[in-house]
Homo-oligomer: A and B are copies of this chain.
Amino acid sequence: MRPPSSPSEGLFDPIFTTDEVAGAVSDEAWVQAMLDVEAALARAASRAGLVPAAEAAVIAEHCQASRFDAAALGREAARSGSPVIPLVRALTGAVPEPASRHVHHGATSQDVLDTAAMLVCRRALAPLLADLSAAAESCAGLARAHRMTVMAGRSMLQQALPVTFGLKAAGWLSMIGQARARLADVRDARLAVQLGGAAGTLASLGGHGTEVAGLLADELGLAEPVLPWHTDRTRVAEVATALGMAAATLGKVARDVVLLAQTEVAEVAEPHAPGRGGSSTMPHKRNPVGAVLTTAAALRAPGLVATVLAAAVQEHERAAGGWHAEWEPLTDLLRIAGGAAARMREVLGGLEVDPERMAANLRMTDGLLMAEHVATVLAGRVGRLAAHDLVEAAAGAAAGGRSLREVLLDDPAVREHLTPDELDAALDPAAYLGSAGAFVDRALDAHRRPAGEPA
């Protein structure tokens, strides 16, 4: 049962996530996921012959979050440290006899919470993966449209060599694709049922333990693990690290957008919308707010991933703190990665690109940007190091205000090896793009390939 769409109701929450993700990780969604596990458990036990089918049906029919008060469960949970304990008590109280005897059959509270967490992950990953797909699609469009739009490539924020905006977009496409593929793999292969009972033996199910566990997995469409994983947190860590990588990837794209949108660079702008990126004091401002909030998400994700990894060192058959430490950070990772994906989908979907400004910026260094090319051409004639030193000297002189062309033509050592025409050819950015176009094509090909990327 999908939780009812419950839009975010907080002050900061809507800044960092979306209604859809917020709905998938809300308190109500968690309660529903726990109830979904209880219902599936009853059905699984029934299929194993441990619970009459009619009674399982009665239990399942009471497993609706709207019948329970999340805040009240939370208040009771404070005493035991787990929301499952009051929920099971409330559910057992709500279900009429004799079905109530079979509520939570064979399970421990961690079984329910862990399996519910897997359901919450799957549900919250749906909009996230869709947003990543759409963002990738927009990148593909940009890569195609600007395959040969020349702009400055920048290293350490210094103009370095000409590239194309299509190549930059292809890079975004490729990295978003990888992040998405890893998340999809984790979702499809690693989200698993947890059923082990109090100490991982399923003792209270007698000889039916592994059978019920398999049926529960079948009921919920989750993987069946080899063993209960109460203190083997690999699966949780895989979700968290994949989310962390997605946030970092989106953060990289966002950083590029923020930098390209600088007043002094102005090569791209976020899509305009009323009230978007406004300032309370500066009416002219058009802040790259989508990219800024994505950057914030990327700053937050590493600490949350670290927490999940640190919490994975868990004691014996049930942890004394590590398990509890996962709940909110995992939820937060889903929230902020989901928010970031939605933001960048919006940013990339409407990105305004200014090829003229790109060309103008490329001319700013008056030829210095082509120094490598000149050095390469010269290297074929005087050797790599000599060419490097020669051009470095010219570049130094050119920084004083004269163009690189002028300085080079003044140098007899250069004139000896290059004609003015050869020099002009060496100074043309559009003629020095190497494999840029080929790389764009490869990225588009890889994007089209369905390789292991389920919808």
Contact = CB atoms under 8 A, between A and B. Distances in A.
Contacts of A389: 283
Contacts of A152: 263
A385 B156 CA distance: 41
A11 interface: yes
Q: Which 6 A-B pairs have the closest CB atoms?
A: A295-B321, A153-B199, A155-B318, A284-B395, A209-B435, A203-B434
A152 B295 CA distance: 23
Interface string A255-280: 11011011111000000010111111
Given A14-B77, A80-B289, A108-B281, 19 more contacts: A11-B77, A79-B276, A81-B293, A88-B280, A154-B318, A157-B261, A158-B262, A161-B197, A174-B226, A200-B436, A204-B376, A241-B241, A245-B312, A264-B361, A283-B394, A284-B404, A293-B321, A296-B321, A303-B303
Contacts of A76: 275
Contacts of A331: 12
Interface residues of A, number: 191
Contacts of A442: 210, 226-227
Given A263-B152, A291-B320, A283 B203 contact: no
Given A8-B74, A275-B80, A435 B205 contact: yes
A328 B248 CA distance: 18
**Among A171, A293, A297, A379: residue with most chain B CB under 10 A:** A171
A201 B167 contact: yes
A331 to B, nearest CB: 8
B171 A200 contact: yes
Interface in A48-81: 70-71, 73-81
Contacts of A247: 309
Contacts of A170: 227
A8 B83 CA distance: 14
A74 to B, nearest CB: 4
A437 B254 CA distance: 35
Interface in A362-405: 364-365, 368-369, 371-373, 375-376, 379, 383-385, 388-389, 391-392, 394-396, 398-399, 404
A118 B331 CA distance: 26
Nearest to A260: B316
5 contacts: A81-B287, A158-B261, A202-B434, A210-B438, A284-B368
B252 A231 contact: yes
Contact of A371 (B234, B263, B283): B283
Interface in A1-35: 7-16, 27, 30-31
A365 B114 CA distance: 29
Given A204-B434, A315-B154, A278 B210 contact: no
Nearest to A201: B434
Nearest to A367: B284
Interface stretch (A97-105, A121-129, A133-141): A97-105
Contacts of A149: none
Contacts of A71: 8-11
A332 interface: yes
A226 B446 contact: yes
A193 to B, nearest CB: 14
A306 B162 CA distance: 33
Which of A159, A373, A442 has the largest number of chain B CB atoms within 10 A? A159
Contacts of A315: 154, 156-157, 255-256, 259
Contacts of A79: 273, 275-278, 289
B302 A83 contact: no
Contact of A78 (B14, B182, B207): B14
A49 to B, nearest CB: 14
